[in-house]
Amino acid sequence: MAYVEYRYVFRDSIEYEYRFCGHYGQRGERRSPRTRPSTEQMKRQNQWSRQKYLRRKVKLNFEEGDPLITLKYKAGARPPLDEVEKDFKRFRDRIRRELKKRGLPFKYIYRMEIGKRGSPHIHLLMNYTEDILKLIRKCWEPGQANIEATYDLENGELADYLSKPPDEEIEARLEELPEGERKKFVRFSCSRNLENPEPEKRIYSHRTVAKKIRDGIEPTPGYYIDKESVRYGVNTFSGYSYLYYTEIRGDCAGAKIVPVWKEEPPW
């Protein structure tokens, strides 16, 4: 029975997903018992899906050296959400005008957060321009801005950071807010001009995928396999198996076939 391969091609990496696409009872895949997910399991699965989606969005639209900016308010300031949103809209409008003068688009992903002392701040990933430090300080008036260059976008740490769930202390603070406001502090948002990751799809027989699992994954010429990215197991919700892994462009002189080990699902 068939598996579908989803192949996401980026500047310096390729991500693979294999999922069983047959029907229960057909040859090639014996369905494992399904379980009814708990609320906590659903939260973990949804979080894992968000991180995976945002990682691909970052890799497709941004480059190493693009700035990650934290927009802060003055010490002790705790403006209400509607004021934060207005301040950030003014900031975006100013940045967009400045970049337009340079013939550049304004691409961004942002996430609003509440700090441990209750002060709001905004994490912003955007495209690079030469005078970025001067530009940010000019356009953000309510307080200070920290700027750092991004690096190693392939490992997904930046996307995980922008999509991470709040810890218990922050979660307790968010519980005090109305539901509509609380949601705005736990999700990320993207500019409309970002490209969406679209996979190339191919159908493979169960035998072909079983060989990968049994004999190991062989990298594409010019790439090596990120061993930490290999995920193989059974989706406890559907009962069907899956295989994920990432290839990274680079020195592959010592690249070898990577073994596949069965594991518990990441959620």
For the chain, 267 residues long, the average pLDDT of each consecutive 10-residue run is 89 91 51 65 80 93 94 89 93 96 96 83 94 93 93 82 77 70 82 95 87 88 90 77 89 68 59
Rounded CA-CA distance 188/149 in Å is 19
Output the CATH code of domain 60-190: 3.30.70
Adjacent-strand bridge partners of 6: 17, 201
Residues of the chain with CATH 3.30.70: 60-190
What is the CA angle 187-12-192, rounded to 5?
A: 35
Predicted TM-score (pTM) of the model is 0.84
- Whole-Å CA distances, 211 to 31, 75, 87: 19, 59, 55
H or E stretch at 207:
helix 206-215
Rounded CA-CA distance 112/36 in Å is 33
Rounded CA-CA distance 99/116 in Å is 33
Q: What's the pLDDT score for residue 37?
A: 66
